[in-house]
Amino acid sequence: MSGRKRARTVVVTGASAGVGRAIAREFARHGWNVGLIARGEAGLHGAMADVARAGGTPLAFAVDVADADQVAEAADAVAAFFGGIDVWINNAMVTVYAPVRETRPDEFAHVTAVTYLGQVHGTLAALKHMLPRDAGTIVHVGSALAYRSIPLQASYCAAKAAVRGFVDSLRSELIHDGSRVRLTMVQLPAVNTPQFDWARSRLPRALQPVPPIYQPEAIARHVYRAAQDAPRELWIGAATWKAILGNVLVPGLIDRYLARHVYRGEMTQMKAAARPDNLYEPVDTDPGARGRFDARAAGRVAAADPRWLKLGLAAALGAVAGATLFATEAQGRAEERRRLAGRDR
């Protein structure tokens, strides 16, 4: 027994539904111990059953990631129970759908506390256990919106951008210290999750993800891969690549495109109905990983390390610049020949 190698352990925040639920199942499918952190107890019970059915060993905690002490205590309990933490997935989020002028200061503060500070709290809790072992991987679940904000979700977009800034600072510090703890951030496209039925909204029609839409299981497979390979970032879906690179190249054009089209893209044709939301308290049900957009969601999605996308973009821009320079020089030589010919006459 003493020589037996322990199973690897992952902790997933926001594990009761949506992408977090699918990630928990994906790790369980590979035989991992899975620590589950979320606020809703019904969803946590369902996630525990999913993990057990998939072949993993679950341990669940009803915790609000906005509370740093609760997150730290849960991390300590997972590490003590399973003998350590190998991977930590920061995934928990909340959002508010409303124009900035209609979003209250306390709503901005709470989205920030969960979606940004929740990732800070999770990272601090994970580092406490990973740094002494000089091993472990922390995965930050981000979004294309971490680079390219869209209208009607300013609080969420700002929080995801803040996560990216935090991760970049920490990465430099870990490099400075010679640490082998790894960081990776996965930037997501639109996903078919239950959040569109419980996010706080002041919009006149029912919410939807901005197409194209992907199933959470397709995302979870790439998150599992990122936890193994730890690329600096992993961009999932062509829409993510286009949004990020487009914002680098033509941000003003993207501003105007979003102003014209994305208001409509974030809403269905159905009138919004009164319903509970999960901003301050969980909607304590067990919807599973998927939302109501199965018919429109793809089960597979491509992902790319942005180093190669940026290299390709740089090569394309270099080729354009080279061709432009060549044409300019050729035009200059032709004009010089004409000028000399005219002088000889």
- Residues annotated as catalytic are 156
The sign of the torsion formed by the CA atoms of 279, 283, 284, 285 equals negative
> Can you read off the two tokens belonging to residue 130?
């990973």
Cα 230 to Cα 108, 135, 226, 257, 305: the distances in Å are 31, 12, 5, 33, 10
Cα 180 to Cα 21, 51, 177: the distances in Å are 28, 29, 9
Residue 296, Cβ neighbours under 10 Å: how many? Answer: 14
> Can you read off the two tokens belonging to residue 12?
């997933």
Q: What is the dihedral of CA 278, 283, 286, 292, to 10 degrees?
A: -60
Q: What is the dihedral of CA 198, 123, 71, 280, to 10 degrees?
A: -30
Among 7, 11, 19, residue whose Cα is nearest residue 186: 19
Cβ atoms of 97 and 200 within 8 Å: the answer is yes
d(CA 31, CA 19): 19
